[in-house]
Each structure stands twice: as structure tokens, then as C-alpha cells.
């Protein structure tokens, strides 16, 4: 049956969320400088990343740093903040888009790095930029069912290789303006890591309740944004149109079960000015309640939402209502309500 998939949770809280930011800063001015011959040949202006996407900087890992090591660091930080020992964790889900190889899973490296017990189930979930929210939903369902007491959701992203490959390819003399714009989104990507710890509300009244939310699919648009380590290729106009149709459909139907018009904070997947402005306009969000991290961190894939939430956590007070929401390539959308 077409429509939203709705999930509600009875006994789940977010105990902590933590991030690990990549240390090196790559500015859009620097990327413009490296692309200057191509921009001149194609008669494209400098500053597109800043003016169109609103991305002024993005982060990269230092030499020798690995995204999965950063994910382990974020996970250890989240466990410490939650006051949970590794031996108490029953589930660990990695949602990273980045992976060094097809198998084994990224999750096994992180499971080992965190020192989790052999009884802790671990696996990867891949659903483009929605993976982290999807992972939270699955973990919450297992906590609600009584199968586990604690779960760690974790994500590490490395955009360094795709950034280098894209800049090198866009400098080739056979690249057209259309080719350039189809890869424009690759230049907005950034590196980073984040983790969250979920637990039982009846054991942790101090936690932040995860109430539930909705997901909705529009997979007829599965070819509009396709990425690999070589690059991310998008039909930006069709992607924006399809994405907004999906968001509006999900948002409108969700009104039957949820009232999200007056949230205290809307934590969006961090993409660009164009994407954010479109969602704010389409759903009537209060722009002052939509924090932005993409201007300085770029699009960090599934880590974008938890990185942004971690940055806002110190400004939220007990009782604040928070909505996590985003659109992922494919297309899918997800929205999840938290009671802080």
C-alpha cells in the first residue's frame, strides 16, 4: 500500500550523541583555485560552491587518519557520555557510506575497536544519507521488544578520495559544462564521524525520549544521484524536484499522526542552501529553528544529522521537541521525533 511507514516507540531514549570532526580544513576558495583552468575554459564563475551551495569549508582527515578509527573515537566518546560500559551493549550498527572494501563489514572493525562483547550483534546498514536515522529506528525497535538494553549507532565518512578524484577529472579538457555540473555535489562532501547510544527509558528517565516517526520511498528516482569513490553524479534539477515531492507527501500524510509544525529544533540532513531553502519553504518550517553545519563541514553523509544534533545538544533544554529529517539518494525520506 502506498503511503508512509509509521513507527512509534514506547520505552527508548537517546542517552548521548557525540562527533569526531576531521582536523584539516579545505576551503571552497582553495577548490576554486585548483579548478581555475577548468572554470575559465567552461566560462563558469568562481564562488559557485559558496553562492549556490552555501558551502564555504569542508573537513578532511590528516595523513594516516582513517574514517573507521574516527568512528571508534566517536563511539567511545558517546559511551562515556552515556555512562555505559562496552560490555552492556547488545547491538552496534554502522551506517557509513564509506568503506575500504566490500567485505568484511565496516562494523566488525568498529566492534573490535570499541571492545564490545562477542554477544553484541554488529552489522552495516547502507541507505545513503538516511542510514543513521534508519539505524536508530531499528535499534529502538529491538530495545522496545526487550531483545537488547543498549545500542550504539555509529558512522564514519571519508570524502578525501572522492574529492581528489573529482577535482582531477573536472580538470580534463574533454569535460563539458554539463559534466561539471553533474559532479558539482561531489565538491560539497566532507569527512567526519558520529555516534549515538540508545537505551531503555524505564532505566534512564534522564534520557531523551525517541517517540517515533515516518519513512517514505520514491524509488522511481533511484538513478538521479549515484556515487562511488570515483565521484557522485547527480541530475540536480530532477533530484530537487523529486526530493521535494517526496518530502511534501510524507510531511502531509504524517499530520494524521504527528504535529511537527512547532518543533523547537529541526535537525535536517546537511546538503546545501538550495536543499535547505526548498525544505523550509515546502514544509513551512521556522527557519530560525533550523541549525546549519554544511557551511563549515559540508555534506558528511549519514553523519550530518548526528553531527548537527551533537552541536545543538548543549542548547536544548528538557522538554524541547526535536525532529530529525532528511532525504537520501534513491530516493527515501525519514523523519524522527525526539523529546529532549
pTM for this model (two decimals): 0.96
Task: Note whether 270 and 292 are within 8 A (CB).
Answer: yes
Instruction: Give residue-wise pLDDT tens across range 19-78.
Output: 999 999 999 999 999 999 999 999 999 999 999 999 999 999 999 999 999 999 999 999
pLDDT, mean over the chain? 96
Percent of the chain with pLDDT over 70: 100
Residue 236, C-alpha cell as written in the block: 540536480
Residue 144 has pLDDT above 90, yes or no: yes
Spatial separation of the C-alpha atoms in residues 334 and 239, rounded to whole Å: 16
Spatial separation of the C-alpha atoms in residues 191 and 24, rounded to whole Å: 9
- So what's the pLDDT on residue 1? 67
- In sequence order, which ranges of the chain are alpha helices (DSSP H)? 28-42, 48, 67-82, 106-114, 131-144, 160-170, 177-182, 236-254, 273-283, 294-297, 304-312
Ordered by start, the domain boundaries in the chain are 208-339
Cα–Cα distances (Å) from 205 to 148, 209, 211, 264, in that order, read: 17, 9, 14, 21
Question: If pLDDT is split at 50, 70 and 90, which confidence band does 229 have?
Answer: confident
Spatial separation of the C-alpha atoms in residues 133 and 16, rounded to whole Å: 14
Residue 205 has pLDDT above 80, yes or no: yes
* Lowest-confidence pick of 115-119, 232-236, 311-315, 331-335: 232-236
Residue 279, C-alpha cell as written in the block: 525544505
How far is C-alpha 151 from the geometric centre of its chain's CA atoms?
18
Spatial separation of the C-alpha atoms in residues 313 and 307, rounded to whole Å: 10
Spatial separation of the C-alpha atoms in residues 134 and 151, rounded to whole Å: 13
* Lowest-confidence pick of 82-86, 139-143, 232-236, 263-267: 232-236
Residue 186, C-alpha cell as written in the block: 561531489
Instruction: Give residue-wise pLDDT tens across range 267-323.
Output: 999 999 999 999 999 999 999 999 999 999 999 999 999 999 999 999 999 999 999
Spatial separation of the C-alpha atoms in residues 99 and 108, rounded to whole Å: 12
- So what's the pLDDT on residue 22? 97
Instruction: Give residue-wise pLDDT tens across range 69-127.
Output: 999 999 999 999 999 999 999 999 999 999 999 999 999 999 999 999 999 999 999 99
Q: What is the mean pLDDT of residues 165-176?
A: 95
Domain 208-339 in CATH 3.20.20.60? The answer is no
Task: Note whether 122 and 105 are within 8 A (CB).
Answer: yes
Give the residue numbers marked as catalytic.
Answer: 103, 129
Spatial separation of the C-alpha atoms in residues 152 and 128, rounded to whole Å: 19
Spatial separation of the C-alpha atoms in residues 111 and 251, rounded to whole Å: 36
Amino acid at each position: 500500500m502506498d503511503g508512509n511507514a509509521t513507527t512509534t516507540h514506547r520505552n527508548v531514549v537517546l542517552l548521548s550523541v557525540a562527533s569526531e570532526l576531521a582536523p584539516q580544513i579545505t576551503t571552497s576558495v582553495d577548490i576554486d583555485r585548483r579548478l581555475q583552468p577548468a572554470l575559465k575554459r567552461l566560462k563558469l564563475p568562481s564562488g559557485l560552491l559558496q553562492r549556490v551551495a552555501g558551502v564555504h569549508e569542508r573537513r578532511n582527515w590528516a595523513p594516516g587518519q582513517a574514517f573507521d578509527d574516527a568512528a571508534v573515537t566517536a563511539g567511545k566518546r558517546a559511551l562515556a557520555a552515556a555512562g555505559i560500559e562496552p560490555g552492556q551493549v547488545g547491538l552496534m550498527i554502522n551506517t557509513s557510506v564509506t568503506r575500504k572494501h566490500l567485505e568484511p563489514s565496516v562494523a566488525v572493525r568498529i566492534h573490535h575497536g570499541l571492545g564490545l562483547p562477542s554477544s553484541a550483534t554488529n552489522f552495516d546498514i547502507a541507505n545513503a544519507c538516511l542510514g543513521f536515522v534508519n539505524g536508530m529506528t531499528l535499534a529502538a525497535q529491538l530495545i522496545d521488544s526487550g531483545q537488547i538494553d543498549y545500542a550504539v549507532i555509529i558512522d564514519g565518512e571519508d570524502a578525501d578520495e572522492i574529492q581528489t578524484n573529482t577535482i582531477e577529472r573536472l580538470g580534463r579538457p574533454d569535460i563539458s559544462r554539463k559534466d561539471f555540473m553533474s559532479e558539482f555535489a561531489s565538491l560539497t562532501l566532507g569527512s567526519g564521524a558520529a555516534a549515538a547510544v540508545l537505551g531503555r527509558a524505564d532505566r534512564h528517565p534522564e534520557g531523551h525520549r525517541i517517540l517515533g516517526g515516518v519513512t517514505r520511498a520514491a524509488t522511481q528516482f533511484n538513478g538521479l544521484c549515484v556515487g562511488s569513490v570515483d565521484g557522485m553524479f547527480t541530475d540536480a534539477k530532477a533530484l530537487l524536484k523529486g526530493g521535494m515531492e517526496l518530502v511534501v507527501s510524507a510531511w502531509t500524510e504524517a499530520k494524521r499522526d504527528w504535529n511537527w509544525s512547532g518543533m523547537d529544533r529541526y535537525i535536517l540532513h546537511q546538503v546545501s542552501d538550495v536543499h535547505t531553502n526548498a525544505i523550509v519553504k515546502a514544509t513551512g518550517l521556522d527557519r530560525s529553528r533550523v541549525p546549519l553545519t554544511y557551511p563549515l563541514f559540508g555534506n558528511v553523509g549519514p553523519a550530518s544529522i548526528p553531527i548537527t544534533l551533537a552541536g545543538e545538544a548543549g542548547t536544548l533544554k528538557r522538554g524541547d521537541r526535536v525532529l530529525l529529517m532528511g532525504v537520501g539518494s534513491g530516493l527515501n525520506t525519514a523523519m524522527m521525533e525526539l523529546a529532549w
